[in-house]
Amino acid sequence: MGLFSKKSKEVFVTPLLGNNPVTMQILGICSALAVTAKLEPALVMGISVTIIVALSNVVISLMRNTIPSRIRIIVQLVVVAALVTIVSQVLKAFAYDVSVQLSVYVGLIITNCILMGRLEAFAMGNSPWDSLLDGLGNGFGYAMILVIVAFIRELLGSGTLLGFTIIPQCAYEAGYLNNGLMLMPPMALIIIGCIIWVQRSKNPEL
Amino acid sequence: MAAKEFKCKVCGYIHKGDKAPDVCPVCGAPASEFEEIKKGFDTNGNAYTIIYASIVVIVVAFLLAFVSGALKSKQDENVVLDKKKQILSSLNVDIKSCADPAAEYAKCVKGEWILNCYGDVVDSTGGFAIEVSKENSKPLEERQLPLYVCEKDGAVKYVVPVRGAGLWGPIWGYISLDSDMSTVFGVYFSHESETPGLGAEITQPKFKEPFKGKHISRNGEFTSIEVVKPGKTFEDADYVDGVSGGTMTSQGVNAMLKQGIGQYVGFFNKEVK
């Protein structure tokens, strides 16, 4: 098996569209609601989750043949919790502003269903290299949905993107109003629902 | 008993022999899809499980202790620097364009005093180390109130730290006053977990700017500054607009200002007279 064999490529690409963890497996929805009111925290959250899924996938894949099956979930949790704590400590030491901005959400990555889902479904039965690709693929798939939702919510809810004003002042003078509902968590659910709708109607196989 | 066992990753067929078969007899997968089943000790035994769990926990504990120990000093530095930046920011110093906030802080802040609630200066140093969150849980008479005496553009400013409760968690801020102890020179607000886009807007210039030039007292009486619903007015004190959609957080700021600045009234009265 080469480094970029057909299977490896498939492992990386399918979670991006065909089997996206958020829109197809409906995992990680809580954090998708919580951090998507603005684009910037959504980006940082997407990157953090990608790094942690990829790393924990590799670690669990390396340990997979030694883990006693009766306590495998606990072992997975310990590995994930340790990695998240390390990432959060490193952020505090070297990127203090970002860690302040993400506050509790970094810690909550531990409870993100995507992580446990990938560890249990993939890393326990596949080689470290494939697990790394699978982790990256799922992380990017998750980040992609977060960014799309945050883009829509920030643009329509605050009229800005990454903090820069996009909707011109003259639009407000002509009577345009920011949609306050966009900033509420239910709107994230509705947008994700719309994305799932579009995705399913484009692809009749699903 | 055959020497080795191979399992087909596609269908789960188990082949016994020295090496994997060329083609899986069940599903036709090639030899590369076969994985050798390692036969070691029993990984499901109780003793193995307990020892494994203990080792994992000990390794992780050492790892985390090591990371925490290695990064502690760096993190503490960040916390101190962040606090200095917050104080500077209440003095209208543009933090983003400031190359060395620590040096700027040393230049601006002349004194870190500790006051008591009667307005006496208990100590003229050490105010920086005081945590307002801890002081707020003590009885008023025992509180140590930090006050930063600063110099900005040749004029003396006083910076008062305040801390209160927002909707989801703590909110805090720094209020800088002119030497008349009434006119607001600048403010800084931050929060731990207010809703992004709603309550969290208290950190934005749109909310902070209107505070400038407002007065915390009228005719020598402390009135605080009211945070009102946007569009409303207030008779008995200066007021600013709250955050629309962030009513609970705005009320939190209102209460925080009343309580936080109110503690310093004794000192203000003494200084002005």
pLDDT confidence bin for A1, thresholds 50/70/90: very low
Half-sphere exposure of A81 (CA within 13 A, CB side): 11
- Subunit contact B198:A183, Cβ cutoff 8 A: yes
The answer as to whether A53 is a domain residue is yes
Chain A interface mutation, best of B54, B56, B76, highest count of A Cβ atoms under 10 Å:
B56
Interface of A with B in 13-32 (CB under 8 A): none
Instruction: Give the model confidence (pLDDT) of A152-181 as tens digits.
Output: 998 888 888 887 888 888 888 887 878 877
pLDDT confidence bin for B1, thresholds 50/70/90: very low
For residue B42, the model assigns a pLDDT of 65
Chain A's closest residue to B44, CA to CA, is A68
Mind telling me how many Å the CA of A196 is from chain B's nearest CA? 25
DSSP for residue B202:
G
Question: Which CATH number does B4-36 carry?
Answer: 2.20.28.10
Where in chain B are all domains bearing CATH 2.20.28.10? Answer: 4-36
A127-137 average pLDDT score: 90
The answer as to whether A81 is a domain residue is yes
A74 near B CB under 8 A: yes
Residue span of the structural domain in which A132 resides: 6-202
Q: How many domains does chain A have?
A: 1
Query: Is the model's pLDDT at B234 over the cut of 90?
Result: no
- Subunit contact B196:A94, Cβ cutoff 8 A: no
Q: Supply the pTM of this predicted model.
A: 0.69
Instruction: Give the model confidence (pLDDT) of B19-73 as tens digits.
Output: 777 888 888 888 777 777 765 556 677 888 899 899 999 999 999 999 999 999 8
Q: According to the 3-state scheme, what is the secondary structure of B43-91?
A: CCCHHHHHHHHHHHHHHHHHHHHHHHHHHHHHHHHHHHHHHHHHHHHHC
- Subunit contact A82:B193, Cβ cutoff 8 A: no
Mind telling me how many Å the CA of B61 is from chain A's nearest CA? 9
Instruction: Give the model confidence (pLDDT) of A46-92 as tens digits.
Output: 888 899 999 999 999 998 888 888 888 889 999 999 999 888 888 88
Query: Dihedral (C-alpha) A188, A193, A195, A198: value to the nearest 10 degrees?
Result: -160
The answer as to whether A1 is a domain residue is no
